Structure 1
Amino acid sequence: MEPRKKIARGIVGLDIGGTKMEAVLSSGQKIIRVQKARTPRNRRTFLKAVANLIAAVAQGQNYAGVGLGLAGALDKRKGIVLNSPNLKFLNGWRIVAALEKIIHRLICLENDANCFLLGELAFGQARGKNNVVALTLGTGVGGAVFTEGKFLHGRHGAAGELGHMIIDNQKSVEDLVSSHSFQSDPLAVQNAGFAGSKKARAVYHRLGKNLGVALANYINIFDPEIIILGGGIARAAPLFLPSAKAEMKKHTLLPPEKLPKIVISRLKYAAALGAATLVTKPLN
């Protein structure tokens, strides 16, 4: 008698960031289990760490496949990382083939900001919306654009890299709004800001003004119904969002009553959840 095969119960979603990795085992919106790890800095340790993270979140439970969210420009058809600015050791690597050899499951590769927006469209504040811009503010600044009910991909799959828009002569949104813009530990600055430090609050005021210019550009170009902010820096929204909105209004073509809502994601593990949806419904 042949051994009974395990029924796949769940999907693994991975969000690979510049400093940390998050994995969820999910069944629809329900999160069964979560695991986290630091992001390695070379290919050899990366493969092992990702495989270990998947095994840790699955805990022996069978799963249908893995959705992999990764920052940067990707050739999804070939499973290659073209350019990941904060994980340069991945550039040019056939990452999907390398991982499939280890875990023997279907792997679906997608930009991490697109995964974040997928999560919001399926389970968060973008449900029912047809025109959405999403920004993830962390080690870098990721962007995703959903317009007239479709994701904006571009010819090479690199559209929507909103963090690389130049807004201050030679500086990009990512230079001015991500954790790279802090001269000291971002979490320490955040804590100091909430504690009332004038110096820390000035840092966030400046960050907010730069973000406001970027938001105005996105509104003028994409005319979204809603803009959703996520990532570690978004947790400090009370410190920078007022100045961002004030600056944004100075540069938008639309009158104030027509401007989109700017909201902070309330969905835990949005990018990992969005990545998991790729296994059953890949993006075109």
Structure 2
Amino acid sequence: MALLAVDIGGTSVKHGIWNDEKLGNKGSFRTPATWDEMKTEFMVLKNSLGEGTKISGVAISSPGAVNQNKGVVEGSSAVPYLHHFPIFAELTELFQCPVSIENDANCAALAEIWKGEAKGLKNVLFVVVGTGIGGAVIIDGKVWHGKHLFGGEFGYMLLKDNAIFSELGTAVNMAKRVAKRKNISENELSGEEVFEMAKNGDLIAEEEVETFYHYLAQGIYNLQYSFDPEKIIIGGGISSKEDLIPELNKRLDRIIKQVEIAPFIPEIAICKYKNDANLIGAVYNWYQNWCQAPIKDK
């Protein structure tokens, strides 16, 4: 069974063919400006597969709050024309085969429990640390969307007075705080540069790096003792930092010593899949929606 996997992003649309338990024929095109242009690109993609590749379904990763029951992408995103119309029905008619759509962060999480760092686990949290903080909640091997489709929107969590997790627990905002304290433009500093500055003894950078690690660890601690997952997987740009897990474990250990009633440190890990995570997770979501038999991993 061959599936066309598609990952819609704000600047590009990635795609590939899932066949024989692997992702191949990968490519991408620039995200079109309108929905009509997107559908044209989809037809070009479909026709380019040729007669030798017959697809049984289309698995899509999309931004926004995907309402599976209504067949609509709700909320808002960097691709505004995807929202608030019967997109499932239009794509099913366009491709003439079963279509599934899931939120991109949820897809990344599904990739991890299917074939990645959380393989074999049932209850997992996926925390995406980028410009802000988002993620996914996996319960019993499936995405838990929540009443308002806000399951996994961890960035809204209040951690200090009126400051939310997204403000305190990302390297992007850490760099902005350093820039503000040094009276320079926010665009002049990156998170990587701040980490390097701290390593070289810059006191302001050291303070803000400590703030970043402390609040990221605190957010993870809160999530662990709210959901009690088997594992918390970290994705996003920060996941490429080699010493991230040891640094977080160091802060988590401090928190556990302060909260004496808490009996264990959360188990955290870096995601296995990077660029292909959304495509692989979209495939797994398609299987969950369209296959009656249990999904087996070879």
Amino acid at match of 2:27: Q
By how many angstroms is 1:197 displaced? Answer: 3.5
Question: Which of 220, 227, 248 is the matching residue for 2:225?
Answer: 220
- What secondary structure is seen at the aligned counterpart in 2 of 1:136? strand
Deviation at 1:172, TM superposition (A): 3.3
Cα contact 2:125–2:229 (8 A) shared by 1: yes
Distance 1:53 1:208 in 2: 43
Query: Match of 2:267?
Result: 261
Distance 1:65 1:245, change over 3 A: same
The Cα shift of 1:273 comes to: 0.5
The 2-side partners of 1:27 and 1:137 are apart by 31
> Which residue of the other structure, out of 106, 114, 122, is the alignment partner of 2:114?
122
How far has the Cα of 1:69 moved from its partner?
A: 1.8
Deviates more, 1:252-261 or 1:161-170: 252-261
- In the alignment, which of 192, 211, 214 is matched to residue 216 of structure 2? 211
Aligned partners of 1:71 and 1:142 also within 8 Å: no
Aligned residues: 272
Q: Deviations over 1:158-213 (max 9, x none)?
A: 32322333334444333444586354569x8355467x333796565543333222
1:67-86 equivalences in 2 (<5 Å): 67-86=59-78
Comparing 105-114 with 242-251, which one deviates more in the overlay?
242-251
Q: Percent identity?
A: 27
Tell me which moved more, 26-35 or 36-45: 36-45
Q: Is the 8 A contact 1:205 1:243 kept in 2?
A: no
8 Å contact kept, 2:171–2:212:
no
Cα 1:257–1:85 shift into 2, 3 Å? same
**Which of 56, 68, 75 matches 1:64?**
56
1:18–1:139 contact (8 Å) kept in structure 2: no
Query: What residue number does 1:6 align with?
Result: none
CA distance in 2, matches of 1:255, 1:222: 17
Q: CA deviation at 1:55?
A: 6.1
> Residue in 1 aligned with 2:27?
35
2:241 is aligned to: 236
Say if 1:171 and 1:191 are closer, same or farther in 2 by CA, change over 3 A.
closer
Aligned to 2:286, the other structure's residue is in SS state coil
The 2-side partners of 1:28 and 1:173 are apart by 40
**Under a length normalisation based on structure 2, what TM-score does the superposition of the two structures give?**
0.73
Alignment of 1:86-97 (within 5 A): 86-97=78-89
Quickly say closer, same or farther: Cα 1:12–1:19, change in 2 above 3 A.
Answer: same
Matched, 1:159 2:151: yes
Please tell me whether the aligned partners of residues 110 and 281 of structure 2 are also in contact (alpha carbons under 8 angstroms).
yes
Alignment partner, residue 271 of structure 1: 278
Distance 1:54 1:172 in 2: 43
Q: Unmatched 5+ residue regions in structure 1?
A: 1-8
Question: What does residue 180 of structure 2 align with?
Answer: none
226 and 35 in structure 1: CA distance in 2 versus 1, 3 angstrom threshold: same
Matches of 2:40 and 2:238, distance apart in 1: 29
SS, match of residue 282 in structure 1? helix
User: Over alpha carbons, which structure has the higher Rg?
Assistant: 2
* 1:128 shift after superposition: 1.6
Please state how far the C-alpha of 1:38 moved relative to its aligned partner.
Answer: 4.4
Moved more, 98-107 or 117-126: 98-107
Question: Is 205-214 or 65-74 further displaced after alignment?
Answer: 205-214
**2:190 counterpart letter in structure 1:** V
The residue identity in structure 2 corresponding to 1:81 is V
Superposition RMSD in Å:
3.6
Bigger drift between 146-155 and 247-256 goes to: 247-256
The structural deviation recorded for 1:222 is 0.8
- Residues 103-144 of structure 1 show CA distances to partners (whole Å, capped at 9, x for unaligned) of 333210112222112111111121121221112233553321
Partners of 1:143 and 1:244 lie apart in 2 by 18
Distance 2:11 2:134 in 1: 14
SS in structure 2 at match of 1:229: strand
- In 1, are the aligned partners of 2:113 and 2:141 still within 8 Å (CA)? no
* CA–CA separation in structure 1 for the residues paired with 2:63 and 2:269: 22
